Structure 1
Amino acid sequence: MVTRFRFQETSTAQGFASSIEKGLDEKINDAFMPFAVWWEKLILSEVDLFGMGIPVVLILLILGALFFTLYFGFVNLRHFPTAIQVVRGKFDELEQEAKRLKPVVYEVDGNLKGTIKDEGHLGEVNHFQALATAVSGTVGLGNIALVAVAISIGGPGATFWMILAGLLGMSTKFVECTLGVKYRDIDSKGTVFGGPMYYLSRGLKEKGLGLLGKFLAMVFAVLCVGASFGGGNAFQSNQAAAQIMGSFGLSGPATGTIIGLVFALFSGIVIIGGIKRIAKVTEKVVPLMAILYVGASLFIIFSKIELVDDVFRLILSEAFEPVATISGGFVGVMIQGFRRAAFSNEAGAGSAAIAHSAVNTAYPASEGLVGLLEPFIDTVLVCSMTAVVIILFNMDGTFIYGNVVNGEALFQDGSRLGGVNITSLAFESSINGSSYVLMIAVCMFAFSTILSWSYYGLQAWKYLFGRGKLTDLTYKLLFLVFTVLGAAITLDAVIKFSDAMILALVFPNMIGLLILFPKVKKELAQYIALITKTVSK
């Protein structure tokens, strides 16, 4: 049995909740919880299928991703090598030719008045920086904490459905990132404004659905601001605080709040500088945190290589015949896998299209191909490694699959732990002292995700309220308040709010994708033709 003395008192950022007097953190949580519960029930409304309730949003995500995969001829697999080549800059010479095109004036409304699509300003960041920023927004604590939640609830079989969701999500991400570049707005200074707000309003207007497009764009923008406060911010600071408190045995009536203030301070320093500074930070942080976390995961996996075949047998067998005491059998396990994958890689939510739209390119499909790498990195690689490490840790039944209350699993000794602390124990069981390494990785994951989502939310905020300096400052201050708030509330409350906020984006975004996908096919055909011509020279 693994020693857990550092973690038992801090299963969430509120390990001191048993104290007689309520501290500041607990008071904040009590005020926030009712809204989180209401919002989750609204967004995760269910329909009865296979004898159990399945959230409508997951049906939309799964069927949409499957459709795009088939319609684009398995673009997620067929053009995977091409995507790698684009990121490496192999086809950058095509961009040099494109810069000689004449400027094209966009017909714009309201706050977009006076902006142009100037081919002299093709964007603000390169392909790798755009990918790094977007990956930093998706490869976050969902890959560490929520994978643990999914495995705790659904057992090893949830891993299979997470991987499948990641593979299918690659096609959805390709579509939304292509549209993000195609319909972005670039002002005369080269500043980019892009994302679903723009392809919903402009793209649907081209289809004669201008009113619907404006409505969906507004809904998306409002939800995106909320998602930036929740899943992209509050959840990250919550689990970072939990890991810090767990590693050092900290507790107190306002410890989470204090940690949140520190995160807010460092985040504020970076986000004031906008996408260029965010991109410069993330292009350094993302590779470092990936090497740190993936390296530790691989070390654990190879140190127990004799058990890995048993792990994969469990994943495959329990995907369809789960042992975990979860309602709905394999359908329940499937829902857990898809739900956590959706939160983790955000394919279908449209958020990453905001980061990708800032790329320096004249060919929308080039960044669409880059975008499809995201779910592969995020879910197929990182989430899978986390899952394997946790399953290896639980081969002797240390905790009971399916016995989860408020996001926390029941251990054989009667204690309960949830989220990132389960992953931390899994690491500690294999590498003594690795919980501290994980703590560093967790903080980096949280920090990079907070940075990326601050940009996503700001773009949506600007779409709603204009592009003035006061508008920017107002959003950034509100965003930092939620950084502190997230560290103060419980894991259960923050998961309910964050899950629902991220998944709510799917409704307006997927409606747009299912109307505009033929535009993407034309862009892909054009770009592939140019690549073929270049290679054949």
Structure 2
Amino acid sequence: MLGDQFSVAVTYEGPAEVVRTFAFKTPGIETQTPLDQLDRVILTYTRTLPVGTDGTVVADGFTFSIDRNDASSYGFAAGEAYTFKVTEIMFLPIVIIILLLGALFFTIYFRFVNVRKFKLAIDVVRGKYSDPNEEGEVSHFQALTAALSGTVGLGNIAGVAIAISIGGAGATLWMVLAGLLGMSSKFVECTLGVKYRTIDARGEVSGGPMYYLSRGLAKRGWGVLGRIFAGFFAIMCIGGSFGGGNMFQVNQAFQQFAGLEFVQGSWISSNGWMFGVIMAALVAVVILGGIRSIAKVTDKIVPFMCGIYVLAALVIIGMNITEVPRVFAEIFAGAFAPTAIAGGFVGVLIQGFRRAAFSNEAGVGSASIAHSAVKTDSPASEGIVALLEPFIDTVVVCTMTALVIIITDNHLDPGATDGVALTSRAFSTELPFFKYVLSVAVILFAFSTMITWSYYGLKSWTYLFGGSRAADITYKVLFCLFVVVGAAASLGKVTDFSDAMIFAMAFPNVIGLVLLAPEVREELNKYLEKIRTGKIIRVS
């Protein structure tokens, strides 16, 4: 793929300590490898291959040069056959590079707002600077949990597990770094989301990239470009809401449910559509009430499930407290000098950064749609609250998953491809009952993600087709139908295409954020000045 960086994860199945590293030399990926599952294991095989006289191994268009471990008494013999296993081709899509460069730019431009205003963010979300009479539909806390419900979920449970199993423990460090930088992107997009939102006669709020791209860029003389960007974003968001925000979620929830011992072999395990009907009914009950109804559900589910998940992780870490120094040593050593399974330094970097981007969606723009509904007259106040989102999602929840997997050494299984199963096994190593808790967590996280993404898709839908009652109901009916389809279908390329649509949202969004960054700085200065002069009073 044009503009992509890639490396290959390889393991060697043979005498211990023979291979030190593999170097990926000549790809040939364009014609010889399918590119339809970039975020999953897309090539797995075990072959007995001869080592050439020049120390290389060639397999189906891939050439590996071998760095033999000189300390080993067992050496490679030219022409002799050895067994190698290619576990994944790892890509760093151009969109991830854009998200990371954007996050780095915003962090520097706003002088590390992600660090400087962290305590203020906690105070604001606790209601210390809130006025319940300000315009909007939900509180700061409800807006945060609604947006979090769209990101905290399967990416934290399954995605991190795969990243660690392929990229090694070192991927954790880059994942955390990407999460910290992403806090600045969230601050910018959610500040703009509130600044350019619209509030109709009924008090219903509409906001997000569609509005700050079209209206914000128009103010700067780029009206046509802004409308093109906004329309493109809305179309991609609708597609993403039906696929990755809906069908993929319910499909994974059903697979987890069907895998429980008391469900296996029953009639429902082979009739996913029934599970889909039940989930669709539950989703319908919530989304018919709009963002207020969604927020009332997410502000209970998200803190409860995150709390249980993090608590279980802390218990396991506490039970293995003597292993913690070893774990952190492995993380830092692996981040810069990974073992053969990671496919080199670039491979570890890719796994950490890619997982953080797929998990917290910082820079994608979706979360600003939920944050726009907050009750506030100061746009920067919600931007400051929003920077907590990548911290909770990536720095806390994803890191807890990684630490448990590394402590229990479950990441050393080169054949691990099912992220949920890997995480479940890691937790169950110390807490046998947790596999049942994790099953409930997967279903609840999937449910909360679905209802939040239904709101994102609806706001994009009404931006394109108007906010009439008919347009509103049409989208919600379609969304619920896709829930049933997703539970029963084998998704494959459908969700891969949907994932691509979600990340296509980042292209116009990041460009717009950079162009509108001066306005965000102005809003931040105005908000901080109000606090400094006492116009906004802190409630004790």
**The TM-score by the shorter chain falls in which range?**
0.7 to 0.9
User: Tell me, what secondary structure is at the counterpart of 1:138?
Assistant: coil
Cα deviation for residue 258 of structure 1 reads 2.9
Q: Which residue matches 1:392?
A: 407
Preserved CA contact (<8 Å) 2:38 2:91: no
Letter in 2 for 1:465: F
CA distance in 2, matches of 1:56, 1:148: 23
Question: Could you list the per-position Cα deviations for residues 46-85 of structure 1 after superposition, in whole angstroms to 9, with x for gaps in the alignment?
Answer: xxxxxx9642111111111001000100000000001111
Preserved CA contact (<8 Å) 1:235 1:494: no
Matches within 5 A, 1:367-446: 367-394=382-409, 397=412, 399-400=413-414, 410=415, 417-446=417-446
User: Tell me, what secondary structure is at the counterpart of 2:282?
Assistant: helix
Preserved CA contact (<8 Å) 2:283 2:450: yes
Letter in 1 for 2:320: K
Preserved CA contact (<8 Å) 1:123 1:192: yes
Preserved CA contact (<8 Å) 2:405 2:411: no
Q: 2:284 aligns with which of 268, 288, 295?
A: 268
Preserved CA contact (<8 Å) 1:233 1:483: yes
Question: Could you list the per-position Cα deviations for residues 24-66 of structure 1 after superposition, in whole angstroms to 9, with x for gaps in the alignment?
Answer: xxxxxxxxxxxx965969xxxxxxxxxx964211111111100
CA distance in 1, matches of 2:201, 2:35: 45
CA distance in 2, matches of 1:285, 1:163: 24
Cα deviation for residue 231 of structure 1 reads 2.2
Residues 482/338 of structure 1: CA separation in 2 closer, same or farther (3 Å cut) = farther
Task: Give TM-score, length-normalised by structure 1.
Answer: 0.80
Preserved CA contact (<8 Å) 1:154 1:326: yes
Matches within 5 A, 1:358-369: 358-369=373-384
Q: 2:372 aligns with which of 342, 354, 357?
A: 357
Letter in 2 for 1:365: A
Q: Which residue matches 1:487?
A: 487
CA distance in 1, matches of 2:320, 2:340: 23
Question: Could you list the per-position Cα deviations for residues 321-375 of structure 1 after superposition, in whole angstroms to 9, with x for gaps in the alignment?
Answer: 2215344x11122112111111111100000000000001010000000000000
Q: Which residue matches 2:529?
A: 529
Cα deviation for residue 489 of structure 1 reads 4.6
Preserved CA contact (<8 Å) 1:153 1:324: no
Cα deviation for residue 192 of structure 1 reads 0.3
Q: Which residue matches 1:157?
A: 170
Q: 2:332 aligns with which of 303, 310, 316?
A: 316
> Do structure 1's residue 66 and structure 2's residue 108 form an aligned pair?
no
Range with bigger deviation, 506-515 or 289-298: 289-298
User: Tell me, what secondary structure is at the counterpart of 2:260?
Assistant: helix
Q: 2:237 aligns with which of 200, 221, 224?
A: 224
Residues 489/324 of structure 1: CA separation in 2 closer, same or farther (3 Å cut) = farther
Preserved CA contact (<8 Å) 1:227 1:502: yes
> Do structure 1's residue 184 and structure 2's residue 191 form an aligned pair?
no
CA distance in 2, matches of 1:491, 1:150: 22
Q: Which structure shows the bigger proportion of residues in helix conformation?
A: 1
Q: Which residue matches 1:247?
A: 260
> Do structure 1's residue 135 and structure 2's residue 173 form an aligned pair?
no
Cα deviation for residue 239 of structure 1 reads 2.1
Preserved CA contact (<8 Å) 1:230 1:501: no
Cα deviation for residue 501 of structure 1 reads 2.8
> Do structure 1's residue 278 and structure 2's residue 275 form an aligned pair?
no
Matches within 5 A, 1:307-346: 307-327=323-343, 329-346=344-361
Preserved CA contact (<8 Å) 1:123 1:359: yes
Superposition CA RMSD, Å: 2.2
> Alignment length, in residue pairs?
451
Q: Which runs of 4+ in 1 moved over 6 A?
A: none
Task: Give TM-score, length-normalised by structure 2.
Answer: 0.79
User: Larger relative contact order (C-alpha < 8 A, sep ≥ 6)?
Assistant: 1
Q: Which residue matches 2:26?
A: none
Residues 442/230 of structure 1: CA separation in 2 closer, same or farther (3 Å cut) = same
CA distance in 2, matches of 1:284, 1:432: 26
User: Tell me, what secondary structure is at the counterpart of 1:156?
Assistant: coil
Cα deviation for residue 509 of structure 1 reads 0.6
Residues 318/499 of structure 1: CA separation in 2 closer, same or farther (3 Å cut) = farther
Preserved CA contact (<8 Å) 1:156 1:318: yes
Q: Which residue matches 1:11?
A: none
Cα deviation for residue 493 of structure 1 reads 4.7
Residues 152/499 of structure 1: CA separation in 2 closer, same or farther (3 Å cut) = farther
Question: Could you list the per-position Cα deviations for residues 96-145 of structure 1 after superposition, in whole angstroms to 9, with x for gaps in the alignment?
Answer: 6xx6xxxxxxxxxxxxxxxxxxxxxx111111111111111111211111
Preserved CA contact (<8 Å) 2:410 2:425: no
When Rg is computed on C-alpha atoms for both structures, the one with the higher figure is 2
Give the percent of matched residue pairs that are identical in Structure 1 and Structure 2: 57
Residues 345/54 of structure 1: CA separation in 2 closer, same or farther (3 Å cut) = closer
